[in-house]
Each structure stands twice: as structure tokens, then as C-alpha cells.
Chains A and B, each alone.
Chain A
Amino acid sequence: MQAPLRYESQVRTALVEGQKDYHQVTEDIVRPVEAAPSRLWWIGFIISVCCLLFGVWSVTEQVIYGVGQWNLHRTIGWGWDITNFVWWVGIGHAGTLISAILLLFRQGWRTGVNRAAEAMTIFAVMCAGQFPIWHMGRVWLCFFIMPYPNTRGPVWPNFNSPLLWDVFAISTYFTVSVLFWYSGLIPDIATVRDRAKVKWRKLMYGVLSFGWTGSTKHWQRHESLSLVLAGLSTPLVLSVHTIVSMDFATSVIPGWHTTIFPPYFVAGAIFSGFAMVQTLLLVSRKVLKLEGYITLEHIEVMNKVIVLTGSIVGIAYLTELFISWYGQNKFEGWAFAQNRVNIFSPYGWSYYLMMGCNVLSPQIFWFRKMRRNLTVTFFMSVIVNIGMWFERFVIIVTSIYRDYLPSSWAMYYAPSIWEVGFYIGTFGLFFTCYFLFSKFFPVIAIAEIKHILKKSGESYKEKMGPLEQMPVEEFAHEYAHAH
């Protein structure tokens, strides 16, 4: 008997359930790509496209008639659009955390979920980018934000401004995420290509696979590329939401006068991102029949991350509340005491909604039974995302609707249909992309699952059982000649 190449303790739960070998893994994951889309897929896809079209219509209205189509005014200059921008950017963060940070930490469970999570990152950042771009009003001049030699002076953008940092951060984040995702996809696209029977499939996956062969040297470079990209993405993902938070924290608006924003935003981003990953994967594993790869163990681990980051966010809320009193800045103190904590103030309800959804409700995940309950997980994933949307709403609207000058206070801000339509449109964009992705690409990284199969696969772990029970002398005798 040959000695196993890799070994993992029985104490760790199997990450691939069922009796699977390499070929079975390929079959299971490629099946949705090769099969005709199901009725459920078509329904979901058509609804998404309809939402997307409504979004296109809303944006068209806004481009034709101007930003006045939105109910923003001089006091509340940032409303739904920037709330949605921050919300979508935040959602993207979980994908990078799973694919990059957990790669550096050598977490085997990431392999089941990283591909879908990375795709989610890319689509979420695409949605996020829409908001500041269309908010510019004269969107046909959006290239003015890029620094390039021009005939207007040249007038350069202000490199000291967090808004320009955002341009660089988001575009870099998008580019690096796409490269990371695609470089991981190439070997799996080659797997689909080599199984293809139909002409168009051979052509399409042939082109997309870039001629991948799977030779050892290529894998060696691929590993090196993945590792360095993970190393680059880790500080990158932290920097992105840090910079987004600086859009607020570097200003002098009461309520944003807080240095805790960067870590607090990053924790919140990972929190909401994991919730969105749960929403997507709970549906994907069921519809695509991938329960053997995205197991209860994966769901539970992600719920642990949710309760951890939710609690970090809770500490951040309490810290900024404390500091607003302790700091003795009366404008800052008033913004917290009157605009937020006072439940009878016009937006007081949103503060408590945020607290309830983000800080209290995730505490349910301290219980193992709840972490492993799919219904609870799905429900919580939606609740958390509602809560995180309200967090951004609280930060933006409750800070600016009453500032230094009471004569300019504006009590009520409600979005217009075109603001709501734009938001719905980004959902349409996100889910249209996700549906197309889940149809045309393997939603689980095939090569990475194969890489951990003999270590963490159920059938292989079972074989290790007798070995663990063996006395040391017998084991040594049996395996002394293996190497």
C-alpha cells in the first residue's frame, strides 16, 4: 500500500461529501455548464433582465433631465445613490477575503466557495461603480476624473482628495479582482473545453482557455501568480473600504467626525459581503445540486465570520457613540444624541433598525444549531444586508440632514422613483451577471477541489481512519519503505 501524500486529522470535518474521485468532481461541477438551463434559471434570469431594463430606463431619465430627477437637494446632497454605492462596494469585500486572505491563511474550506464569491465581488463592484458615475450628472464628461494631459490648463484632478483616491481604489480593485478570478478560471475553462462535444462550445471555451495545457511549469507559475495576487489583494481590499470611509472621515461634517471609520467600514464590508455570499450560495448549491461541495460545514464557518464581524461592527457603533460624548465636540455630540439615538427624531428609527439587524440579530449564530440551520442562515443573510444598507443610510442621511445651520435643515428626504429604479437596476445587473456566470462557468474551482480532495474528501478521510487507530510500531513497519 502506498503512503498517502497528504494527511489531515479525522477531527476536521470533510469538505467534500460523498464517494468522489477526480472524475466525479469534474462531472458534478461541469454538469450545470453542459446541461440546458433549467426552468428556474430562466425565470430568475428573465426577472433579473427586467430589473436591469428598469434600471436602464431610470438612468436614462436621469441623464436626459439631470440629477434633479432624484430627490436630492442642497442639504441632502448624498442620499440613496451614495448609500447604494458604499453598500455594493462593501458586499464585494467578502469575495476577496475568501479568495485572498483565506488563501494566505491556508484555509481549505475556501476552495468550495471562492469562485462564486470572487464572481460576486466583481459584479458587486460593477454595480457600485454605477452610482458615482451617473451621479456626476454630465456623465459624458466622466473621463475628467482621470489624470491626463489636457487642453484645459492642463487642469489636473486633486490628488489630495479622497474622492479621487476612490477612483483609483475602486478601479484597481476591480481590475485586480478580475485578473485573480480569471487566472483561477483558466484551468477550469480548459477542463470544460476538453470535454466539449459541440462546435460552439469547443470554440468558445477554446478561446477563453488561452490554450491552457496543465503542464507542471504552468502550474508552478500559476501557483506563484495566485499567491502574489492574494498577497496584493489582501492589503488592497483593506485599503478600498478604508478609502471609501475616508470620503466621510476626512470631512468636517458632524457625525462623520470619527477616526474609527476605516476599520469599522472594513469589518462592516466583510460582514455584509459574507451575508451576500450566503444568500447566493444557499440558492446555488440547491439549484445546481452542489451540496456535496458547499457543505453545512462551509455554511457554518461563514456564519462564524458573520457573528465575529457583526460583533466588531457592534463595538465600533458603541465606540463612536462613546467618543461623540467623550470628545466634547458639541456638534458631533448633537448629531449622535439627537439625530440618531433619539428615536423620536425624524430618522431615529433607522438607527435602531441598523442596531437590531447588525448587532443583535447575528448573535443568534453563537448557537451551533442555528449556524447549521439553512432557513435561519438564509433569513439572517437577508436581514444583515438590510441592516448594512441602513448603516450607510444612517451614516449619510442622518449626518447631513441637520448640520451647523438650522435654517438649512431639511427634515424629510424620500427617494424618487428613478432613485429606487436605479437601485433595482443594479440588482438586475448583479443577478443577470451571476445567472450568466453560473450557466457558462464552473461555479466551483474544480482544480482547487481536486487539490484538497485526497486530504479533505469524505471518502479519503474514511480510509485514514484505520491508520489513525494503528499502533505506532505497526504503522512504522508498514510505511517505513514508502519514501
Chain B
Amino acid sequence: MAVKKFVVGVFTDEAVLFPAIGKVRSAGYKIHEVYTPMPIHGMDHALGLRDTSLHTAGFIYGITGTTTALTGIGWVFNIDWPVNIGGKSHFDLAAWIPITFELTVLFSAVGMFLTFLFLNQMAPFVRKHHFNLRSTDDQFTMVIELTEKSNAEEIKAFLTNVGAVGINLQEAETGWWIGRYDTDKTPLKHKGELLA
């Protein structure tokens, strides 16, 4: 949650973007984010991001569902209200498999989806700063954070060198805020103002 300054480099080809990421990183610049219109395999590793543990969360939600189903049905049929159904056992595990399976899947899917939204800070009426509107269309946008040590002009020249086709300087709120996309009421006074 802070307003920072960024140099934004726009690329039109992922084959140019990939080597550029390596060069920018080895030159020691701090890549804030790379925005792409589609998933690009290997990009997360190129950026040095660690693997997501969303699937681990999914597994935990899943076994929670399994446990809920088994303990729930077991409690109902054995403790709360044991009913004689055709003389069958009160602890009829085989007959509980379908519901146990369904609840496992349900808990895992819903839990993962909500965790996905939470981690990505996504919800209806959530707004974020968009550095380049065409990064959901056909452009790849690399955003480099300006620190006290770095020089904007130097980064710009570097980005041109590695193949960026459009470069600009933006001041942006890094977090999210409650807002709508049809109005421009943002917590930042000169939001997205082109400084250069």
C-alpha cells in the first residue's frame, strides 16, 4: 500500500520479452511485475518467483471435506439417530463413498477458488492500477520499480536496448482499493499521470 514510481516497458513479442527479463534481472534492476495477456510457461521461473502452494491448500481443503463427510454421516447414523435401514450395518462405509467423494471435491474446489481470489486480492469492486490497458490484449508489460539508487533515464535506455517498443514513467498505488472501473476516483491524486 504505497505510491511508488515505475518505469514501464512494453513488449510485443514474448520471444523478445524472455531474454529481456534475464538481462534486466542480471543488470540488478528490480522488476515489480510483468503483465501478459495469456499465461506464458516458464515466465515465473524466469522472474525468480517461487512455485505457488495453492495446490497444497487444495489438498488440505479436500481432506477437510473427506473428514467432514465421514464424521458427519457416522455421527448421524451411529450416535444421533441410528435408524435400521433394511437391517444394514449402522457403519456402512461402502455406501458413504459417493457422498464422501463429492464433499471432498466440493470443499477442495470451493476452498481453492476462494484462496485464489484472496491471494490475488481479487473480488468484485476491487480496483488496481493498470500500467498498460493493452496488456490484456496483445502487449507484454514489464514494470520496473524506481528505487533511490536507480536512475530512470538509465533504465529507459536499457529497456530500449533489450527490445521494449514503448517506454514511459508512471506513479502508481501498488495495492488495491475499493473502486469502480467506470469512474476514476482513486486514492492517488495524480494517478497514472505520465511524468515523462
A355 close to chain B: CB less than 8 A: no
Whether A203 and B180, one on each chain, are in contact in the complex, defined by CB atoms closer than 8 angstroms, is yes
Assembly CA distance A211 to B118 (angstroms):
12
Residue of A215, A232, A243 ringed by the most chain B CB atoms within 10 A? A215
Whether A26 and B98, one on each chain, are in contact in the complex, defined by CB atoms closer than 8 angstroms, is no
Whether B54 and A203, one on each chain, are in contact in the complex, defined by CB atoms closer than 8 angstroms, is no
Q: Which of A5, A207, A222 is in CB contact (< 8 Å) with B116?
A: A222
Whether B98 and A169, one on each chain, are in contact in the complex, defined by CB atoms closer than 8 angstroms, is yes
Please tell me the size bucket of the interface on A: 35 or more
Assembly CA distance A447 to B35 (angstroms):
13
Whether A159 and B36, one on each chain, are in contact in the complex, defined by CB atoms closer than 8 angstroms, is no
Rounded to whole Å, the gap between the CB of B32 and the closest CB of chain A is: 9
Q: Which of B43, B49, B116, B176 is in CB contact (< 8 Å) with A211?
A: B176
Q: Which of B106, B113, B120 is in CB contact (< 8 Å) with A172?
A: B106
Interface stretch, picked from A37-45, A137-145, A190-198, A370-378, is A190-198
Assembly CA distance A171 to B106 (angstroms):
9
Interface stretch, picked from A57-65, A121-129, A160-168, A263-271, is A160-168
Assembly CA distance A156 to B176 (angstroms):
45
- Residues in B neighbouring A214, C-beta threshold 8 A: 35-37, 135-136
Whether B124 and A207, one on each chain, are in contact in the complex, defined by CB atoms closer than 8 angstroms, is yes
Residue of A165, A171, A208, A213 ringed by the most chain B CB atoms within 10 A? A213
Interface stretch, picked from B2-10, B80-88, B152-160, B188-196, is B80-88
- Residues in A neighbouring B116, C-beta threshold 8 A: 183, 221-222, 225
B34 close to chain A: CB less than 8 A: yes
The A432-479 residues at the B interface (CB cut-off 8 A) are 446-448, 450-451
Q: A191-B136, A194-B137 are in contact. Are A159 and B101 (CB under 8 A)?
A: no
Whether B54 and A5, one on each chain, are in contact in the complex, defined by CB atoms closer than 8 angstroms, is no
Interface 0/1 of B60-92, CB less than 8 Å to A: 001000000000110011001101010010001
Q: Which of A2, A217, A239 is in CB contact (< 8 Å) with B49?
A: A217
Assembly CA distance A220 to B49 (angstroms):
9
Assembly CA distance A399 to B181 (angstroms):
58
A32 close to chain B: CB less than 8 A: no
B27 close to chain A: CB less than 8 A: no
B1 close to chain A: CB less than 8 A: no
Interface stretch, picked from A79-87, A147-155, A283-291, A418-426, is A147-155
Q: CB-nearest residue of chain A relative to B36?
A: A214
Q: A5-B14, A154-B80, A229-B112 are in contact. Are A26 and B36 (CB under 8 A)?
A: no
The A162-193 residues at the B interface (CB cut-off 8 A) are 162, 164-165, 168-169, 171-172, 175-176, 179-180, 183, 186-187, 190-191, 193
Whether B34 and A215, one on each chain, are in contact in the complex, defined by CB atoms closer than 8 angstroms, is yes
B147 close to chain A: CB less than 8 A: no
Assembly CA distance A301 to B124 (angstroms):
38
A212 close to chain B: CB less than 8 A: yes
- Residues in A neighbouring B113, C-beta threshold 8 A: 179, 183, 225, 229
Q: A183-B116, A217-B44, A447-B39 are in contact. Are A236 and B105 (CB under 8 A)?
A: yes
Q: CB-nearest residue of chain B relative to A201?
A: B182
Whether B108 and A232, one on each chain, are in contact in the complex, defined by CB atoms closer than 8 angstroms, is yes
Assembly CA distance A4 to B95 (angstroms):
54
Q: CB-nearest residue of chain B relative to A188?
A: B136
Given contacts A22-B37, A194-B137, A211-B127, 16 further A-B contacts (CB under 8 A): A5-B15, A156-B76, A168-B99, A168-B103, A169-B102, A187-B37, A193-B136, A194-B134, A200-B182, A206-B180, A210-B122, A210-B124, A211-B126, A213-B33, A215-B34, A225-B112
Q: List 26 A-B contacts (CB under 8 A).
A: A2-B13, A156-B77, A159-B76, A160-B92, A176-B106, A179-B109, A183-B116, A187-B37, A190-B136, A191-B37, A191-B136, A193-B181, A195-B137, A207-B180, A210-B117, A210-B123, A211-B126, A211-B176, A212-B120, A213-B130, A219-B43, A224-B55, A227-B55, A229-B109, A232-B108, A447-B39
Closest 5 CB pairs between A and B?
A206-B181, A22-B138, A211-B126, A210-B122, A23-B138
Question: Which residue numbers of B lie inside 8 Å of A, CB to CB?
Answer: 13-16, 18, 33-40, 43-44, 47, 49, 51-52, 54-55, 58, 62, 72-73, 76-77, 80-81, 83, 85, 88, 92, 95-96, 98-99, 101-103, 105-106, 108-110, 112-113, 116-117, 119-128, 130, 133-138, 176, 180-182
